[in-house]
Amino acid sequence: MRKIAVFGVSGRMGQMLVQQVDADPGATLSAAVERAAHDWVGQDLGQAGATLSAAVERTAHDWVGQDLGQATGGGPRGLVVTDDIDAALAASDVVIDFTAPHATVALAARAADAGVGHVIGTTGFDDDDLVALAEIGTRGHIVRAGNMSLGVNLLVTLARQVASALGEDYDIEIIEAHHRHKVDAPSGTALMLGEAVAEGRGVSLADMADRGRDGITGARREGAIGFHAIRGGDFIGEHDVIFAGPGERVTLRHVASDRALFARGALRAAMWLEGRGPGEYSMLDVLNLNGR
């Protein structure tokens, strides 16, 4: 049995992860982790816990010390929600983490030191965070992806191939739509797609990204990779990659209709990490789309 800890258990993704672990005969929930109350005081809610929905009236620290089953509105299950990270790591083979960037980077270092695998679904990292995770990946066991779904990772592969095949007279625009509570933009998935098309073109995304247009912007920059973020309602996640050329357009599209698909992908990554050497892997590795 693969012993799995879920961090950010009070959030929507955290609760879905618990359901997926419970449903898998090869996995067992070893720890359910949330933040202590003092970690939240004085913080912006989005920064303190990006997984929380505005519909959740109580804060995550209310869960600490409660039986997980009762905290989620059911009967007792004999597992108490904890804020003791070291105890959770000691009880686990791998942790799954859809929380916030600063918390994820700190957890990654502690998981690596404890020899525990770390599946990261958190998005919104800055450049310093990514450098830190890459360094931790030299000694830890990490799967990090802006999106855990099979379909999206296939889309990433296709986007790279199409960008490589089409010349610069095909303009690339990436459009993404998410629910009104999402705190980062562009989405992690949109950035994955941007990196893929930049790699297909043989350019740097940092050099070619165009993340917003307003006012008199002038003509479109040659070779730019455009990003557009829609926020509203209850979109789970929609992503389009448009290649607009002379006389034709090619559009690659993915629509998520069930948020549980991200939890299923994360659990698949957690199971895949068993026996792997140190490294910062992606879902392309998990799905054998990277050839390694």
**What are the DSSP calls for 82-144, one per residue?**
B--HHHHHHT-SEEEE-S-HHHHHHHHHHHHHHT-EEEE------HHHHHHHHHHTTTSEEEE
Annotated active-site residue 3? The verdict is: no
Composition of the chain by helix, strand, coil, percent to 5: 35, 25, 40
| 182 tagged catalytic | yes
pLDDT 10s per residue in the chain (292 long)?
Answer: 999 999 999 988 999 999 999 999 999 999 999 986 534 434 544 554 444 343 333 455 588 999 999 988 889 999 999 999 999 999 999 999 999 999 999 999 999 999 999 999 998 899 999 999 999 999 999 999 988 998 999 999 999 999 999 989 999 999 999 999 999 999 999 999 999 999 999 999 999 999 988 999 999 999 999 999 999 999 999 999 999 999 999 999 999 999 899 999 999 999 999 999 999 999 999 998 875 4
Q: What is the pLDDT of residue 53?
A: 40
Among residues 61, 118, 178, 228, the one annotated as catalytic is 178
**What is the model's pLDDT at position 60?**
57
Cβ contact 203:197 at 8 Å: no
Pairing status of strand 248-256 against strand 237-245: antiparallel
Dist CA 118 CA 109 (whole Å): 10
All structural domains of the chain: 2-144+259-286 (3.40.50.720), 150-256 (3.30.360.10)
Instruction: Look up tokens 């973020």; give the residue.
Output: 229
pTM of the full structure: 0.79
Alpha carbon distances (Å) from 259 to 213, 228, 255: 30, 22, 11
**pLDDT in the model for residue 61:** 59
* Amino acid code (one letter) for 37: A
Catalytic residue among 61, 118, 182, 239: 182
Nearest Cα residue to 148 out of 122, 112, 129: 122
Q: DSSP letters along 15-68, please?
A: HHHHHHHHH-TTEEEEEEE---GGGTTTS-HHHH-TT--TT--S-GGGGTTSBH
Residue type, 40: W
Q: Parallel, antiparallel, or unpaired for β 171-178 and 117-120? A: unpaired
Burial 66-85 (b: 16+ CB within 10 A, else e): bbbeebbeeeebebbbbbeb
